[in-house]
Amino acid sequence: MTREELKYLELLSKDFPSIAETAAEIVRQTAILQLPKTTEHFMSDIHGEYDYFTHILQNASGAVHRKIDECFGYSLSNDEKNALALLIYYPEREIARGPRTPDWYRKALSQLVNVSRESADKYTRAKMRTRMPTEYSYIIEELINTQEFDDSKQSYFRSILDTVIDTGIADDFIVALANFISRVTVDRLHIVGDMFDRGSAAERVISELMQRKRVDFVWGNHDVLWMGAGMGNPACVANALRNSVKYGNFDTLEDGYGINVRPLAIFAVEQYADDPCLAFVPSRVTDCVTENAETNAKILKAISVIQFKLEGQLVMRHPEYHMEDRLLLDKMDRETGVLQVGDRVWHSLDVALPTVDPADPYKLSPAEQEVIELLCSSFARSDKLQEHVRYLMENGAMYRECNGNLLYHGCVPMNPDGSFKQVSFGGKTYSGKALFDYCEQNCRKAMYDRRLENTDFLWYLWCGPSSPLNGKDKIATFERSFLQEEEAGEEAKDPYYDLWDDPATADAILAEFGVDGKYTHIINGHVPVKKRKGEEPIKAGGKFINIDGGISKAYQPVTGICGFTLVSNSQMLYLAEHQPFDPNKVTSTSEDMFSRITTVEQYPEQLLVMDTDGGEEILGRVADLRRLLDAYRTGLIKPPVEED
């Protein structure tokens, strides 16, 4: 045994300071390997839709309702099952519907205990405790592990329920049981990018996830944009603001993060006082847009012009980004409204640009400079946004591998022949996995060194032509804002999206990232699956799975559905396709959302913990503990002496 190995075992002995404790831990860990694999859920492109997202979480993509069916079969009517489901999803709201009798409480508590027992059957008692609220963990554990119809325990079980009611904690206890059921039904949640923009409550989505255990992320392009904005990067701030204004979404900005938009609004109204800004009316109709349509159009035009100037400055700062084709503001002839780009001639919808100096079109006016400085300061000083940026950075990554599944948001940039695209930065060339690693290193560097030269890279990840998170040759914001010709706004997708129907493409990517195993898949989002037009999320015989199904209201008219959840349990991998539903109607009636289930892969034998990444870690720990046990028994290590 080497000195390093001996030193490691001596450290391990502090946690297991005797033969008995070491052997007991070996028994415990070895037994865990034989438990069924717990359930993982994969979701993407939430885009701030808090109500949809939380309902799908509480519903566990239909799994909670199936647990209720398994528990009660035909002993409860469909209405009773739906009522119980709603109590699990929204316990506070259901309790508040009206006065509840002791009999109602006994029935509800008994039903919730049964569903809790069914939902937690894959867990050890120790792991169950980690999902329970501390103040009620003893009571919940006793109820779950006591059969109410066991003659010897009936009185004990009923006494616990009666005392819960008698002491006045029944309401809180119902909430605790309901949350416990939701958390054990889904053991681990993987978010495959894009929690920001479009919807009005991204900050509530992230706050909800922060309350849950076992959540991880891969970053989407909208996430890195907001991370860059939180780091104070002017181009990222302008883009994040423009997205919010375009979709009439001031809630996340003002109420969620306390961003002061007033300086921008004052500037816009003064600068464009006589300009109706008709080409800039926000596209999403909200109460705010309806009531303030003209003002919002002025704000959108003001921040758009600022954005194009800042992006032009950034492109010129970074010739290595090869984005000179995005320098369009200087190409506009203000008198004729004509833009000459190469051999193409385009025509502008709007030539009223009073803040643009023809001699230096990318220079901010003094008033614009003051506005963007105030806005950047507001983003950087938002405590909640900074907390969320840190959370995303600490729990997120450019890609992840878990239990044979490779997760990334957008694409692996490719050439039309199926080879990995070579991308150059700083005189070095990257492709495939090395490109993802380089991008992640730069994100983390920017987090802790927020100089402009570092945070600019997050803007590149948002919209760069070779960004794995963008997957397009450009984001044609300028063209769609200013140009009459619709074809000017077309964006060419990376060849990846033409190649992902081919299993050979999946095999090449999995090999590049070192992912192997009996059941391997690539899971990404980013591109909404247009089910309405016949597109399918499962490609290459199940090796590629695109789980962007349009949770966002902005995408539902295109997709025709309300998102996907990919579910991996011990029996199968399946895709839950959520049909459009009204979250408000669900919470006010006994209706529930409906999800169509498509089996991606049925496992011939039930998967156990030993078949997972966690199982590999346990096997490693058990091997270490066995070495410690041998060291104790041979006298190589003496049990630690307890100190006073």
* Residue-wise pLDDT tens digits, 284-340: 555 555 567 889 999 999 999 999 999 999 999 999 999 999 999 999 988 888 998
pLDDT of residue 285: 53
What is the pairing mode between strands 338-341 and 215-217? unpaired
Q: Which residue has the higher pLDDT, 100 or 19?
A: 19
* Residue-wise pLDDT tens digits, 560-585: 888 899 999 999 999 999 988 877 77
Q: Cα separation of 195 and 73, whole Å?
A: 37
The neighbouring-strand residues paired with 430 are 423
pLDDT of residue 584: 72
The answer, yes or no, to whether residue 557 has pLDDT greater than 90, is no
Vertex 74 angle, CA 68 and 77, to 5°: 80
The answer, yes or no, to whether residue 225 has pLDDT greater than 70, is yes
Rounded mean pLDDT of 426-440?
Answer: 96
Rounded mean pLDDT of 390-398?
Answer: 96
Q: Cα separation of 87 and 68, whole Å?
A: 12
pLDDT of residue 154: 80
The burial class, CB within 10 Å (0-12 / 13-18 / 19+), for 371 is: buried
Question: Which residues, 6 or more positions from 439, have their beta carbon under 8 angstroms from its beta carbon?
Answer: 398, 457, 461, 467, 468, 469
Which has the closest alpha carbon to 535: 508, 567, 564? 564
For residue 151, name the pLDDT band (cuts at 50, 70, 90).
low
Q: Cα separation of 630 and 307, whole Å?
A: 66
Q: What are phi and psi of 635, to 5 degrees?
A: 80, 5
- Number of Cβ within a 10 Å radius of residue 128: 21
* Residue-wise pLDDT tens digits, 603-632: 999 999 999 999 999 999 999 999 999 999
What is the H or E stretch that residue 575 is in?
A: strand 572-578
Measured N-to-C along each axis, helices 234-246 and 221-230 cross at an angle, to the nearest 10 degrees, of: 120
Contact 212/267 with Cβ under 8 angstroms? no
Q: Cα separation of 5 and 624, whole Å?
A: 10
The neighbouring-strand residues paired with 36 are 608
The top-scoring range by mean pLDDT among 141-150, 243-252, 461-470, 523-532 is 461-470
The strand order across the sheet containing 40-43 reads 215-217, 188-191, 40-43, 564-568, 572-578, 595-602
The answer, yes or no, to whether residue 451 has pLDDT greater than 80, is yes
The answer, yes or no, to whether residue 210 has pLDDT greater than 80, is yes
The answer, yes or no, to whether residue 227 has pLDDT greater than 90, is yes
pLDDT of residue 554: 83
Is 71 in a helix, a strand, or coil? helix
Average the pLDDT over each of 125-134, 243-252, 313-322, 424-433 and give the range with the smallest value: 125-134
The b-or-e profile of 86-117 (16+ CB within 10 A means b, else e) is: bbbbbbeebbeeeebeeeebbebbebbbbbbb
For residue 588, name the pLDDT band (cuts at 50, 70, 90).
low
pLDDT of residue 590: 57
Predicted TM-score of the model (pTM) = 0.91
Is 197 in a helix, a strand, or coil? coil
What is the H or E stretch that residue 27 is in?
A: helix 19-32
Q: List the structure tokens of 240.
A: 């994040």
pLDDT of residue 553: 84
pLDDT of residue 569: 92
* Residue-wise pLDDT tens digits, 340-369: 888 889 999 889 999 999 999 999 999 999
For residue 586, name the pLDDT band (cuts at 50, 70, 90).
low
- Cα 634 versus chain centre, distance: 50
Question: Which residues, 6 or more positions from 384, have their beta carbon under 8 angstroms from its beta carbon?
Answer: 203, 256, 257, 258
The answer, yes or no, to whether residue 85 has pLDDT greater than 80, is yes
Rounded mean pLDDT of 137-158?
Answer: 80
Mean of pLDDT over the chain: 91
